[in-house]
Each structure stands twice: as C-alpha cells, then as structure tokens.
C-alpha cells in the first residue's frame, strides 16, 4: 500500500496562519471566559494556545470567527494521570484489593469532579470553539498522526465547496501522562520520546486570502492517504509513526506532527510523508512561501 | 458534480433488538430496553439502571468492538459488497471502562496475557474498532474515527455521505458503537448528575420531554449503514433503503455542559442539513430528536425545531428513540438514523415512551406512547453533543420514480 499523491482539484489552498504549542503552556491570553479555565486539561491548553497563535499569525486574532469558520481537529490518545488513578484506587480498595462496593459508595467521589472534562477528546474542540467563536462545521477525530490527514481532507471539502471561508486544521496530543505512557511502554516504545504538543493551520482558499490581503505562508499542492488494514485482535499495534522530512524528528508529536512540521520548514517545496502506527500512509506537498 | 447517496444496508445491535427486524418490531410496539444493570454490581451508585444489550456473545472485554463487528456484518450481508474501494467512518466511545485493570496496573498485578483479553482500558485505544472492521472486510481507504461525543454517530454518517457524494470514496460503512455501562462510565455520569436515578421504575426512567424527567438513561449498542452512490447501487441491483440528502453540523460555542439557551447551534446544524440538500423546512415530515430527557436539552431542542419549522412545527411529528433504548452516546446517532430509515420505509413514526405530562416548554407533537402511521418523504435525525457539538442528517424515503 502506498499513498498516491493527488493534485488539488481546485486552486491550491493557502495557509495563512500557523501556530504551535508544546509542553505545559498558558492559554489564558486567549480565554474569553476565565471561569472555564478550571475545566481545562493540558490538551485543552495546548489546542487553545496553538489556535490562538495561528489566528494571530493569520491576522485574525481577536476577531470572532462565527458561522463561516470550521474546525478540523485530530486529538491524541485519551490522557489519564496516575495521581487520579491512585486517588480512585485508594478510595476503592479493601485490604489492598479493588472493591466494587467501596468504589460505588466512596471511590467514584474521590477524583476531581472536573476530571471528565479534562480528558474527554472532544473538549479541545469545545475550548477552541468557545474562545474563538467558531460556529461552523467540524470534524473531531482520534487518535493518531494519520487522522490529521482525515481532518485535512474534510477541511478541503468544506473550503472548496464554499461551505466555509476559514478552516482551522490541527492536531493536539497530551502524551506525558500515565495512560499514554503506559500504551507506549507496553508496545516497547520509550515514553521519553512522547511530547505534549499542538499545531494548528489556518487554511483559506487562495481567492479569499487574496481578497482580505492575508499573507500566504504556504500552499497545499497535493495530498493523499492510503491504509493497510490490520487485525487488532491478532497483531500488536505498532505505536510508531515515521516521518520523512529532512531535519525533522516528529515521531513523538502524534496528531500534532504535520502542523508542527510546517512551522519549521524553510521556503521552498517540501514533501511530507507519514507512515503511522495505525496503518495509514499519507503524503502531502507544500510550497512554503 | 455531487453524487446522490443511497443507504443499501443496515445493521443494528441495540437494547431492544439484535437485528433490524426485531429492532423495528420493538420500535413499533414501544418496547423499553431499560432494566437493572447486570454487567457489574452497581449497588451503592446513585444510578443502577441502564439499557443493556442482551443475548449477543461478546468475545473480548471491550463490548463495543463486538457490537460494531456484528452491526457491520448485518449491514454488509444485506447490501452485498459495493464496487470499488471501501472505507469505514465510525463514532467510537471512550476506552475508560475496566476498573480492575486500573487496580492491577497501580498495584503491580499482572494484566491478562492473551491478546483478545487484553482489549481493555489500559490496552485498547478506542480506534481499534475501526481497524477490526477494516481488516475483516479489507477496507483499504483510511478509516475515520469520530469522537464528537453524543454527536459522533451522526457525524460519522455525515462524513461518509460527504466523502461518497464528492467522489472521494467509492462506498463506506458508517455508524457508531459504544458501551459506557461500566463502573467508570456510570459513576462518571453520576458524578456529573446527568443520569436518571429512577431506579425503582426502569422502564419509566427515560422520559424525554416529560415534566418529570430527571436525566438520561445510559444505553449501549451499535448501528452501521452501507453508504454508496445511488447510481452504483441501482446498477448492481442493491435494495435502496433510503437516501442521505443533507448533513449539517455546528458548534454551540456557548457552554461546556449546557446547550445554547435559544438552541442556536442545534438550529444551525438542522438548517445546514436542509441547505446542503437544497430543500426548505416545508419539506420536513418528521424529526427524530436527540431527546435525551435531560432538563436542559429537551426545551432547547424544542425551541430549535420551532425556529426551523416555523408555524408548521406543531404539525410535524417529533420522536425520541432514547425513550426506548436510552442514550447510546457515540452510537446514538447511528442507531437513531436507522430508526429514522425504518420509519421512512414503513410510513410510521415510533412513539416517545413515558411522555405522561409534557413539560410546558416542550409543546410539540412528540407521538406519546403509541406508534403512528405517517407517510414521510423527508426526515431529520438530530444529535447534540456534550461540549456543544451538534449534527443533523436529512434522509429521504426511497422512491424509484424520482
């Protein structure tokens, strides 16, 4: 299986904004409602910061985007911290063993009541939507680097059909936590290679970008993805994404890899190839301005 | 040019039927699938009822994988394999379900060794469902995994519709699968105060649009549809069950756990589905509501439907499948879309159970208690997610003359 690049059917889409965030980051400069800060986990912080930076670089900072803007976001594996599990277990154990009876009366009350909000995979999209007033269509997909290409494809359909004027396309991965590191360890991959990161692109049609005088930072020239089916009941998942782009080591960035990569490329034509651990192979060509 | 898109196969695993035929019979008869939780000992939790899938052998510990595989099998058995390269687009629930794994991991106990048994909380990222389906049916286009909460099943079908209509996919399996009837899932919703605590009367607990509603009832299951270009379906002699003619989705961009008070996002999703199809609100004959039976959803959804349909709103039947099967979360939109297709085909609207005393803020025709004969051409199916993600599908009854 090999991904066969396909030229864009329409005028190339323009990247008019790029934003990235890594590690612990502070999203408060972009929060419209500070009261929602307590609901935010790291993946939410990262997504809001990356989207805020991308919009600012596109000259759209501070503007409510409204109905003509869509969000296409690939979200990494569900994060779950060991501290929360410890609290849950400690309050649910009898003689050191998990007790359903104690869990049902005490244990389930032990974790922070806001925990659910902080780990749900649709919450980064919620926080981006509310802070930048995105009311348009969306795709929220999960969990690998390959899914970013699915998000990109959906955004292209929406932009080229005229359904929206602006697409935020990005990925976010909170991976330095107990659960995701556990996934990596059991599959033989060093958890130290994992990064907490988000990257967001602002995509527009070339005509729309020109009309509003936006600076085109890159153009999407072609894009395609293929897939090798595999049996999760017989094969161990290979949690090992491989990227081909000179000078970039992006395997630890998960769903954020492509937008993070684009932010680091010098001017010129670049081919980005991905062989993801979930069987997706994808390739795209970008003209960096 | 956009292609017309047909649904040619249906597969369902639900609390009221493990086949499309039994599901249809239960819908028409107004059967409730809600009962005491049997999948684990829920004694002590505020909510001890749910709508469980019963009678389906489950091979692994992650029930939603088996649900999805069974629903996909049914759908493809009916449709036959369409021509060309297929794909899968699925709304998939969370992997947080196996508390004994959590305990084992934190105390150093060994986790199960066999691969099938290892499909648990700590070892099953949720997307394995789509890979299992893609492997079984040799689907060689990249799968789509939707995690837009309660809107995911509808979004999955909508995305498949767009991909097939635009010619980017030859055909797709589309739908959703979920099971959150597990200690973490049920307790998590209890912690949020979202689920009904009417434990003494399980069959009466899910009460969409009723004044006495006190939250949703958790359900589980899967729904999968075969989606392909209409002309290809006709050329190969497939039975067309219905057409997908429009899809819309939107963000509320309002509140983390409450919908926009005027139903702005819900209205936008429905209006976009109509706009996508090029039809006006006067064409709508029925709405399969999100209808969760939570205090906030039902009046807001009612307001959004009224804004969409205007003066006709009072004449258009609105039904809530969740009154029978509970809330299937990521699978809800898929199973409810199947209920909508069956109603379009059969010329009926299934009832909304337990609507004894309608909330004054919910003043539409919700088809209380009993199914009703009602010929339809166009029906909407709504799904609105926690976190303000809203999706709507517009389906059209199949008519070979059109």
- pLDDT given at position A4: 44
Residues 371-400 of B with CB under 8 A from A: 385-389
pLDDT for residue B99 = 65
Mean pLDDT for all residues in chain B? 93
Q: What is the pLDDT of residue A235?
A: 75
Range B224-235 average pLDDT:
98
Does the active-site annotation cover B290? yes
Measured over the CA atoms of residue B254, residue B255, residue B257 and residue B262, the dihedral's sign is negative
What is the CATH number assigned to the segment(s) B5-397? Answer: 3.40.47.10
Where residue A62 falls among pLDDT bands split at 50, 70, 90?
confident
pLDDT surpassing 60 at residue B116? no
pLDDT (0 to 100) of residue B131: 93
Q: Calculate mean pLDDT across residues B40-48.
A: 94
Predicted local confidence at residue A116, as pLDDT: 85
pLDDT for A60 beyond 80:
yes
Cis peptide bond upstream of A143, omega within 30: yes
d(CA B322, CA B319): 9
Q: Which residues of B touch A152 (CB under 8 A)?
A: none
pLDDT, tens digit (0-9, with 9 covering 90-100), for B134-159:
999 999 999 999 999 999 999 999 99
Residue bearing the bigger pLDDT, A88 or A24: A24
Query: Quick check: B60 and B119 in contact, CB under 8 A?
Result: yes
Residue B119: pLDDT over 90:
no
Alpha-carbon distance B272 to nearest alpha carbon in chain A (angstroms): 9
What is the per-residue pLDDT across B352-402, written as a single tens digit (0 to 9) for each? Answer: 999 999 999 999 999 999 999 999 999 999 999 989 999 999 999 999 887
> Tell me, what's the pLDDT at A7?
46
Closest by CA to B303, choosing from B359, B367, B371, B247, is B359
What does the pLDDT read at residue A237?
63
B106 touches chain A (CB under 8 A): yes
Question: At residue B206, does pLDDT exceed 70?
Answer: yes
Inter-chain residue contact A101 with B44, CB threshold 8 Å: yes
- Decide: A200 and A47 in contact? Cβ < 8 Å: yes
From the candidates B146, B260, B286, B290, give the one annotated as an active-site residue: B290
Q: Tokens 């990222």 identify what position?
A: B125
Comparing A249-263, B20-34, B354-368, the range with the smallest average pLDDT is A249-263
- CA of A193, closest CA in chain B: separation in Å? 19
Look at A134 and B251 and tell me if their CB atoms are within 8 Å: yes
Judged by CB atoms within 8 Å, which residues 79-98 of B form the interface with A?
87, 92, 94-96
> Where residue B111 falls among pLDDT bands split at 50, 70, 90?
low
Give the distance from residue B189's alpha carbon to the nearest chain A alpha carbon, in angstroms. Answer: 9
∠ Cα B236 B160 B289 (to 5°): 110
Q: Do A282 and B142 touch (CB under 8 A)?
A: yes
| Contact call for residues A218 and A15 (beta carbons, < 8 A) | yes
Nearest-by-Cβ selection for B132 from A139, A186, A232:
A232
Quick check: B272 and A137 CB within 8 A?
yes
For residues A118-141, average pLDDT: 96
Q: What percent of chain B has pLDDT over 90?
A: 85
Segment A193-198 shows an average pLDDT of 93
User: B342, B330, B335, B351: which is closest to B379 by C-alpha?
Assistant: B342
Compare CB distances from A278 to B107, B127, B388 and report the shortest one's residue: B127
User: Tell me, what's the pLDDT at B331?
Assistant: 98
Query: Would you say residue B186 has pLDDT above 90?
Result: yes
| Cβ contacts of A134 on chain B, cutoff 8 Å | 251, 253
**Residue A236 confidence class, pLDDT cut points 50, 70, 90:** low
Is B134 within 8 Å of A186 when comparing Cβ atoms? no
As a residue count, chain B comes to 402
Q: Torsion angle of alpha carbons A38, A40, A41, A46, nearest 10°?
A: -130
Task: Check pLDDT > 90 for residue B126.
Answer: no
Helix (H), strand (E) at residue B191: helix B183-192
Helix-, strand-, coil-residue percentages of chain B, each rounded to 5: 35, 25, 40
Smallest CA–CA separation between B259 and chain A, in Å? 12
Using an 8 Å CB-CB cutoff, list chain A residues near B140.
1, 226-229
Q: Is the pLDDT of residue B107 over 80?
A: no
Task: Kindly report, residue by residue over B261-302, the tens digit of the pLDDT.
Answer: 999 999 999 999 999 999 999 999 999 999 999 999 999 999
Q: Give the pLDDT confidence score for residue A153 in this predicted structure.
A: 92
Q: What is the pLDDT of residue B61?
A: 73
Confidence of residue A251 (pLDDT cuts 50, 70, 90): confident
pLDDT value at position A147? 92
- Is pLDDT above 90 for A97? no
> Active site includes B374?
no
Residues 6+ apart with CB under 8 A from A246: none
Find residue A273's DSSP bridge partners.
Answer: A244, A283
Out of A6-10, A31-35, A145-149, least confident range: A6-10
Q: Which of A7-21, A265-279, B68-82, B385-399 has the lowest mean pLDDT?
A: A7-21
- Judged against a pLDDT cut of 80, whether residue B125 lies above it is answered with no
Active site residue B327: yes
What is the pLDDT, as a whole number, of residue A2? 44
- What's the ipTM? 0.94
Query: What ranges make up the beta strands (E) of B166-219?
Result: 171-179
% pLDDT > 70, chain B: 93
pLDDT above 70 (res A245): no
Q: Measured between CA atoms, how close is B282 to chain A, in angstroms?
A: 23
Cα atoms found within 13 Å of the Cα of residue B89, Cβ hemisphere only: 30
> Residues with Cβ < 8 Å from B25, sequence gap 6 or more?
B17
* A171: chain B residues, CB-CB within 8 Å: none
How high does pLDDT run on average in chain A?
A: 89
Residue A5: pLDDT band with limits 50, 70, 90: very low
- Surface of B (212-241) touching A: CB under 8 A: none
């Amino acid at each position: 299986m090999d991904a066969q690049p396909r030229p864009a059917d329409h005028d190339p889409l323009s990247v008019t904004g790029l934003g990235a965030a890594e590690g612990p980051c502070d999203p408060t400069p972009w929060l419209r409602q500070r009261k929602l800060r307590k609901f935010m986990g790291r993946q939410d912080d990262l997504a809001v910061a990356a989207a805020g930076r991308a919009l600012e670089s596109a000259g759209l900072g501070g503007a409510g985007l409204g109905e003509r803007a869509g969000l296409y976001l690939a979200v990494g594996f569900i994060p779950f911290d060991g501290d929360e599990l410890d609290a849950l277990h400690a309050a649910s154990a009898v003689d050191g063993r998990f007790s359903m009876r104690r869990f049902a009366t005490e244990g389930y009350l032990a974790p922070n009541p806001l925990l659910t909000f902080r780990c749900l995979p649709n919450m980064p999209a919620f926080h981006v939507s509310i802070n930048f007033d995105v009311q348009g269509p969306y795709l929220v997909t999960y969990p690998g680097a390959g899914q970013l290409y699915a998000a990109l494809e959906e955004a292209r359909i929406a932009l080229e059909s005229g359904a929206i004027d602006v697409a935020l396309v990005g990925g976010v991965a909170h991976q330095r936590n107990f659960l995701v590191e556990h996934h990596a360890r059991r599959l033989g991959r060093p958890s130290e290679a994992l990064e907490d990161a988000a990257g967001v692109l602002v995509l527009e049609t070339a005509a729309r970008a020109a009309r509003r005088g936006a600076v085109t930072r890159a153009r999407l020239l072609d894009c395609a993805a293929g897939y090798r089916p595999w049996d999760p009941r017989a094969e161990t998942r290979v949690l090992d994404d491989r990227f081909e782009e000179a000078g970039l080591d992006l395997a630890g960035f998960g769903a954020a890899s492509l937008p993070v990569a684009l932010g680091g490329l010098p001017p010129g034509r670049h081919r980005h190839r991905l062989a993801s651990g979930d069987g997706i192979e994808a390739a795209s060509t970008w003209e960096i301005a | 040019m956009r292609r017309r898109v047909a649904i040619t196969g249906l597969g369902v695993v639900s609390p009221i039927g493990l086949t499309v035929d039994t599901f249809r019979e239960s819908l028409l008869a107004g059967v409730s699938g809600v009962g005491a939780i049997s999948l684990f000992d829920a004694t002590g939790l505020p909510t001890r009822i749910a709508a469980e899938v019963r009678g389906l052998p489950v091979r692994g510990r992650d029930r939603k994988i088996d649900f999805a595989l069974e629903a996909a099998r049914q759908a493809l058995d009916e449709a036959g394999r369409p021509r060309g390269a297929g794909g899968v687009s699925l709304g998939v629930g969370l992997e947080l379900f196996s508390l004994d794994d959590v305990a084992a991991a934190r105390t150093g106990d060994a986790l199960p060794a066999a691969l099938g048994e290892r499909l648990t909380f700590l070892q099953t990222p949720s997307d394995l469902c789509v890979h299992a389906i893609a492997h079984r049916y040799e689907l060689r286009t990249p799968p789509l995994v939707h995690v837009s909460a309660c809107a995911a099943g509808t979004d999955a079908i909508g995305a498949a519709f767009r991909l097939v209509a635009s010619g980017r996919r030859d055909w797709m399996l589309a739908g959703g699968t979920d099971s959150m009837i597990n200690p973490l899932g049920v307790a998590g919703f209890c912690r949020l105060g979202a689920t009904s605590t009417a434990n003494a009367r399980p069959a009466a607990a899910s009460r969409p649009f009723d004044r006495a509603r006190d939250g949703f009832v958790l359900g589980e299951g899967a729904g999968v549809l075969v989606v392909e270009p209409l002309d290809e379906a006709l050329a190969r002699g497939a039975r067309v069950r219905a057409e997908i003619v429009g899809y819309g989705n939107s963000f509320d961009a309002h509140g983390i756990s409450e919908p926009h008070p005027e139903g702005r996002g819900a209205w936008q999703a429905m209006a976009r589905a109509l706009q996508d199809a090029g039809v006006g609100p006067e064409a709508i004959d029925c709405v399969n509501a999100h209808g969760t039976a939570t205090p906030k959803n039902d009046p807001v959804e009612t307001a959004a439907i009224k804004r969409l349909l205007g003066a006709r709103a009072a004449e258009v039947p609105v039904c809530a499948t969740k009154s029978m099967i509970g809330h299937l979360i990521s699978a809800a939109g898929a199973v409810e879309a199947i209920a909508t297709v069956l109603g379009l085909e059969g010329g009926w609207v299934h009832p909304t159970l337990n609507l004894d005393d309608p909330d004054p803020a919910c003043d539409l025709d919700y088809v209380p208690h009993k199914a009703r004969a009602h010929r339809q051409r166009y029906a909407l199916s709504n799904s609105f997610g926690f976190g303000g993600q809203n999706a709507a599908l517009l389906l059209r009854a199949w008519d070979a003359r059109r």
